[in-house]
């Protein structure tokens, strides 16, 4: 039999679970305490979890589904996407070790490296977001233990040549951890390309409805898995059964939402690129974008999240544009069913080498609305931008 597609496997995961007459979705088990029939049964670990912290049915099914998507030996759940980045670093690094990471890293991940790890003896070198493989490897020292990859990178969407980086790191004994949130475990498979640990914020497309926070950590190798599982156990973390249930429900429709939103995003991004107010659209899936060839080589799809560099402008004009929109929510995050817009104000300045952009930077997340309506909405927003820049 040919290998089944993700959308089939994610649904078959629901219809083929368990035996006997049963609901399609697992029950939400709200439990700290699990009761046993007799004292001997209390020690029987083959009979399932003995305490609520060990992940109950929905979380276990979610873990299995994520591990299946990622091609992992196992996957773990943590309470946020940020925790999915920080836990592997806590598990794998020791004082004296060094991390290498892109300068365009998600801001809170960068903050963890600088504010938490650095005072505890783990230092980070940041490489230029658009550095070549050789440029990145030149920063590897004999203390470098982990390369933290985020691709595409936050806000400016630079794409890394992950297969080449993973192979080069493996040859040097450097482990690779990749934040793969943009690909949602679908469009790119880090573990199949030699990455050791693939993490994502399930908060985004897997959840898909902007109503939960969760992260997943998937590993190709059982030894790394033991370190990560032990760290989660030691930290005492688990996710709520309700959130696990919601994320599992989100996963059933993830491939369809993801593909549909990418189709719309491509239309919206292409339209924006043709507008005189726009200097550049930062979206690897857009033909002609920097890294488009690399995206075509490695990716089987795209997120509906991209950057828009305006020609000049100022904060007042960006705010006028955003305020004029009726369909784009003004909110952080992405991956939900609704379109969102943000205006970048401070994060780029935190980079060691902030990019020189032609103007204000907006980030758009395209949801499941009709793209023609979104484009009409943006047209109104751009009129407000123009009016703000040349009043009267």
Ligand X SMILES: Cc1ncc(COP(=O)(O)O)c(C=O)c1O
Residues at the interface with ligand X (CB under 6 A): 80-82, 106, 150, 154, 179, 181, 201, 203, 213, 215, 333
Residue 123 CB, shortest distance to ligand X, in Å, is: 22
Q: Which is nearer to ligand X, 77 or 324 (CB)?
A: 77
How far apart CA 274 and CA 292 sit, in angstroms, is 17
Q: What angle do CA 186, 370, 321 make, to 5 degrees?
A: 100
| b/e code 225-253 from CB counts within 10 Å (16+ = b) | bebbbebbeeeebbbbbebbbbbbbbbbb
CA distance 23 to 248: 14
Which residues contact residue 48 at a Cβ distance below 8 angstroms, ignoring those fewer than 6 apart? 34
Contact call for residues 150 and 179 (beta carbons, < 8 A): yes
At closest approach, how far in Å is the CB of 88 from ligand X?
Answer: 13
Q: Which is nearer to ligand X, 49 or 329 (CB)?
A: 329
- We find the least distance from the C-beta atom of residue 199 to ligand X, in angstroms, to be 8
User: What minimum distance in Å lies between the beta carbon of 212 and ligand X?
Assistant: 9
**Cβ of residue 106: shortest distance to ligand X, in angstroms?**
4
The per-residue b/e assignment along 69-87, b for 16 or more CB within 10 angstroms, e otherwise, is bbebebbbbbbbbbbbbbb
Query: Of 102 and 264, which has the nearer Cβ to ligand X?
Result: 102
Minimum distance, C-beta of residue 68 to ligand X, in the bound complex (Å): 21
Nearer to ligand X, 58 or 303 (CB): 303
Contact 75/60 with Cβ under 8 angstroms?
no
122: closest CA among 148, 103, 145, 106?
A: 145
In the complex with ligand X, the residue whose CB is nearer, 144 or 154, is: 154
Residue nearest ligand X, Cβ-based: 81
- Which residue's CB is nearer to ligand X, number 82 or number 140? 82
Query: d(Cα 170, Cα 155) in Å, to the nearest integer?
Result: 28
Determine contact, residues 350/107, Cβ cutoff 8 Å. yes
Element (DSSP H or E) covering residue 57: helix 57-70
Minimum separation from the CB atom of position 19 to ligand X (A): 35
**Residue 286 neighbours by CB under 8 Å, 6+ apart:** 266, 269, 270, 273, 292, 306
* Minimum CB–partner distance for residue 86 and ligand X (Å): 10
Q: Are strands 197-201 and 98-102 parallel, antiparallel or unpaired?
A: unpaired
User: Nearer Cβ to ligand X, position 76 or 106?
Assistant: 106
Minimal distance, residue 201 CB to ligand X, in Å? 3
Cβ(117)–Cβ(92) under 8 Å?
no
Which CB atom, from 213 or from 219, has the smaller least distance to ligand X? 213
Give the count of beta carbons closer than 10 Å to the beta carbon of residue 314. 13
Q: By C-beta, is 154 or 156 nearer to ligand X?
A: 154
């Amino acid at each position: 039999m040919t290998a089944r597609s993700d959308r089939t496997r994610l649904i078959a995961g629901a219809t083929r679970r368990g035996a006997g007459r049963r609901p399609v979705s697992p029950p939400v088990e709200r439990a700290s305490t699990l009761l046993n029939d007799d004292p001997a049964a209390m020690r029987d670990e083959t009979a399932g979890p003995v305490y609520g912290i060990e992940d109950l049915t929905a979380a276990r099914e979610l873990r299995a589904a994520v591990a299946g998507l990622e091609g992992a030996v196992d996957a773990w759940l943590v309470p946020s996407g940020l925790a999915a980045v920080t836990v592997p670093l806590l598990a794998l690094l020791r004082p004296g070790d060094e991390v290498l990471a892109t300068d365009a890293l998600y801001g809170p991940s960068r903050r963890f490296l600088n504010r938490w790890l650095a005072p505890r003896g783990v230092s980070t070198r940041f490489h230029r977001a658009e550095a070549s493989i050789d440029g990145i490897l030149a920063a590897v020292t004999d203390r470098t233990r982990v390369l933290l990859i985020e691709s595409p990178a936050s806000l400016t969407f630079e794409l890394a040549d992950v297969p080449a980086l993973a192979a080069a790191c493996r040859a040097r004994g450097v482990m690779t951890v990749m934040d793969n949130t943009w690909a949602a475990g679908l469009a790119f498979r880090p573990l199949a390309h030699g990455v050791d640990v693939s993490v994502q914020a399930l908060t985004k497309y897997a959840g898909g409805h902007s109503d939960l926070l969760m992260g997943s950590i998937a590993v190709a190798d059982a030894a790394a898995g033991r370190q990560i599982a032990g760290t989660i156990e030691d930290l005492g973390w688990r996710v709520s059964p309700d959130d696990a249930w919601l994320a599992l429900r989100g996963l059933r429709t993830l491939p369809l939402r993801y593909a549909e939103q990418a189709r719309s995003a491509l239309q919206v991004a292409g339209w924006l690129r043709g507008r005189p107010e726009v200097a550049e659209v930062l979206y690897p899936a857009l033909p002609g974008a920097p890294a488009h060839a690399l995206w075509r080589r490695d990716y089987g799809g795209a997120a509906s999240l991209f950057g828009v560099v305006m020609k000049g402008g100022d904060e007042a004009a960006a705010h006028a544009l955003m305020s004029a929109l009726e369909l784009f929510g003004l909110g952080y995050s992405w991956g939900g069913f609704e379109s969102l817009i943000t205006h970048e104000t401070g994060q780029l300045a935190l980079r060691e080498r902030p990019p020189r952009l032609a103007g204000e930077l907006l980030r758009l997340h395209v949801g499941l609305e009709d793209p023609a309506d979104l484009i009409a909405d943006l047209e109104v927003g751009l009129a407000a931008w123009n009016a703000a820049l040349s009043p009267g």
